[in-house]
Amino acid sequence: MRHDYCIGMKSLFVLALTTALAAQAPPQRAPSTNAPAEELPAPITVDVDVVSLLASVRDKRNGLVANLEKNDFTVLEDGKPQEIKYFTRETDLPLTIGLLVDVSRSQENLIGVERSAATQFFSKVLRKKDEAFLISFGEESELLQDYTSSVRLLEEGLNQLRVSSGVSGLHPGPVPTASQPRGTVLYDAVYLAATEKLRGEVGRKVIVLITDGVDQGSRMTRNQAIEAAQKADAVIYSIDYQDPSAYGPFGFGGGGGEGELRKMSDETGGRVFKVDRKHPLDEAFRELQDEMRSQYSIGYTPSNSVKDGSYRRLEIRLANKDLKAQARKGYYAVKPPSR
């Protein structure tokens, strides 16, 4: 069930980052009993052996296709067809969005545009049962707004976006690293969002990254961030947003992180939205909104029921060969966390 528990103070969130990165194990969130009964959503009962997939389908013109039926899909796990047990189209499953915004020095001139576009995005995409949280990341990750369905609170969190870059002195930050300079802890932020915030949730779970894709100083690797997202059943959508002027008068040597973003998004079933003069940020958000509202939710019980922690490759095939499905590439067969 969806919980109302909050980590709360930002200092505790930074402490959670240190603990999570050291232990590499997701903590469990306790349910709150303080909310009135009428505000608590109905519990959702799920089969712990069900593998859930979110899929988007596009035609040859890259247009979204939202009118398919269960028989149009075939799911293969490690090459073996699986029986689809659950299938919904344009699902109303609760949506949890983690928006992660890069506030390193190279993004300084973009923060104002990000703040405005993200506010409009939240106002259009969030429905009654949906929730979102906001994390900024530069030389450290910071929780600016915990779970909420309030656009006003998310806007207040967005108004707290400030540049976070290397500082000098005896206390370089809440999570100092003596042996490695920290500039943009992108992978750490993804890992933390997946393990601390999303792994215990049900329904559709999405991480939205706004960044140039450059990581400097993360303790986690890209592959560890991908694994954490896969274990949380979270889809990563990346918005590749760069300021060429941040890398010199001609923009030489800047960005270069699109390949890293593409890898994270492809492996988890998301995609990369490239922002430029012809494709502004608010248009990228509109496309993301359309995609999240045109998904198929697919569930099956794997024929290989062994929970040995191994990685299982997934593939979705469509009856219409002119269509292409977009979904995560695999999952880890681990036992569900104890409640």
* CATH value at residue 259: 3.40.50.410
Residues 286 and 311 in one domain: no
Task: Please check whether residues 243 and 316 belong to one and the same domain.
Answer: no
Q: Tell me whether residue 183 is in a domain.
A: yes
- Do 155 and 269 fall within a single domain? yes
Number of alpha carbons in the 13 Å side-chain half-sphere of residue 173: 23
pLDDT for 183 equals 77
Q: In whole numbers, what is the pLDDT of the chain averaged over residues?
A: 82
pTM listed for this prediction? 0.80
Are 118 and 152 found together in one domain? yes
Residue 77 lies in a domain: yes
Question: Looking at the domain assignment, is residue 44 inside a domain?
Answer: no
Structure tokens at 260: 């890293």
Helix, strand or coil, per DSSP, at residue 139: coil
Same structural domain, 25 and 158: yes
Let me know: does 73 contact 277? Beta carbons within 8 Å: no
3 part of a folded domain: no
In CATH, what number is assigned to the domain containing residue 325?
Answer: 2.60.40
Residues 125 and 273 reside in one and the same domain:
yes
- pLDDT, tens digit, 9 for 90 and up, residues 43-64: 433 445 889 999 999 999 999 9
Q: Considering the domain boundaries, does residue 132 fall inside one?
A: yes
What does the pLDDT read at residue 146?
96
For residues 202 and 79, state if they share a domain. Answer: no
Residue 220 and residue 194 share a domain: yes
Residue 103 lies in a domain: yes
Tell me how many domains the chain contains: 2
- Contacts of residue 256, Cβ cutoff 8 Å, sequence gap at least 6: 212, 213, 214
- Placement of tokens 């915030």 in the chain: 197
Report yes or no on 98 lying in a domain.
yes
pLDDT of 6 above 80: no
When mean pLDDT is compared across 6-10, 86-90, 161-165, 184-188, the lowest value belongs to: 6-10
Is 36 a domain residue? no
Q: Which of 187-191, 197-201, 280-284 has the highest mean pLDDT?
A: 187-191
Q: Read off the pLDDT band of 338 (50, 70, 90).
A: low
Pair 136, 226 in one domain: yes
Q: Is pLDDT larger for residue 26 or for residue 322?
A: 322
Give the structural domain span for 69.
51-90+295-332
71 and 185: one domain? no
Choose one of 292, 307, 324: the last residue of a domain. Answer: 292
Kindly list the distances between the CA atom of residue 216 and the CA atoms of 166, 178, 183, 251, 339, in Å, as whole numbers in the listed order: 11, 14, 5, 19, 35
Within this chain, do residues 192 and 317 fall inside the same structural domain, yes or no?
no
Looking up tokens 């609170």, which residue turns up? 153
Q: Do 198 and 312 have their domain in common?
A: no
Averaged pLDDT, 156-161: 95
- Look at phi and psi of residue 286 and say left if phi exceeds 0, alpha if psi is from -120 to 50, else beta: alpha
Task: Tell which residue, 172, 132, 129, 174, has the closest CA to residue 155.
Answer: 132
